[in-house]
């Protein structure tokens, strides 16, 4: 006879804390390298075409942030086994079983990063900045959530 494990009730606040803890376990150093490379390529492509300005710089920084949060968040939900992987196996297991909760963290951070970048470096209006930040955050959330869902389906 199999004994089923008792269900543990987790409050909304605990879920938020677990999502942030799970997202913090992502491969953020490799994500920074990927983001820097992507942002650099974006900037060079604009420079080759003879364009430059704060809008171009903002676009390159936004691409870098988008790649950074996608790679780091996807690594967090897929269980990237970097330093300290043994001591946090329960958080990693929670992240693998709740990829959309974890995806909300890098998506929200992408929204805030994009909002600040565009408000500080461009003359774009506030509502346009919010809209751009929202859809960039949605892209990050979708990439991380889908990566976690597909990764969980493969296990």
In a domain, residue 1? The reply is no
Q: Residues 79-118: pLDDT tens digits?
A: 775 555 555 777 788 788 888 988 999 999 999 999 999 9
Long-range contacts of 12-16 (CB under 8 A, 24+ apart): 15/98, 15/101
Q: Residues 133-142: pLDDT tens digits?
A: 999 999 999 9
In a domain, residue 48? The reply is yes
At 74, list the tokens: 């996807």
> What pLDDT, on the 0 to 100 scale, is given for residue 92?
80
Structural domain boundaries, residue 134: 15-80+88-154
Average pLDDT over residues 115-135: 92
* Number of domains within the chain: 1
| Nearest to 110, CA basis, from 134, 77, 83, 79 | 134
Q: Residues 25-40: pLDDT tens digits?
A: 788 899 999 999 999 9
In a domain, residue 43? The reply is yes
pTM score over 0.95: no
Task: Please provide the size of the chain in residues.
Answer: 155
In a domain, residue 8? The reply is no
In a domain, residue 92? The reply is yes
What's 82's DSSP letter?
A: -
Residues 118 and 49: beta-carbon distance below 8 Å: no
In a domain, residue 63? The reply is yes
> What pLDDT, on the 0 to 100 scale, is given for residue 42?
93
Query: Mind giving me the DSSP string for 122-150?
Result: ----HHHHHHHHHHHHHHHHHHHHHHHHH
In a domain, residue 10? The reply is no
In a domain, residue 9? The reply is no
């Amino acid at each position: 006879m199999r004994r089923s494990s008792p269900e543990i009730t987790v409050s909304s606040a605990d879920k938020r804390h677990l999502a942030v803890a799970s997202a913090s376990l992502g491969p953020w150093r490799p994500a920074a390298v990927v983001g820097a490379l992507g942002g650099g390529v974006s900037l060079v492509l604009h420079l080759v075409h003879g364009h430059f300005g704060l809008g171009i710089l903002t676009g390159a920084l936004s691409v870098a942030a988008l790649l950074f949060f996608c790679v780091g968040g996807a690594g967090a939900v897929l269980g990237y086994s970097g330093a300290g992987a043994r001591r946090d196996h329960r958080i990693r297991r929670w992240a693998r079983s709740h990829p959309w909760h974890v995806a909300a963290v890098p998506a929200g951070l992408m929204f805030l990063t994009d909002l600040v970048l565009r408000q500080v470096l461009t003359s774009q209006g506030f509502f346009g900045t919010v809209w751009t930040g929202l859809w960039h955050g949605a892209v990050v959330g979708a990439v991380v959530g889908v990566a976690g869902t597909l990764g969980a389906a493969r296990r």
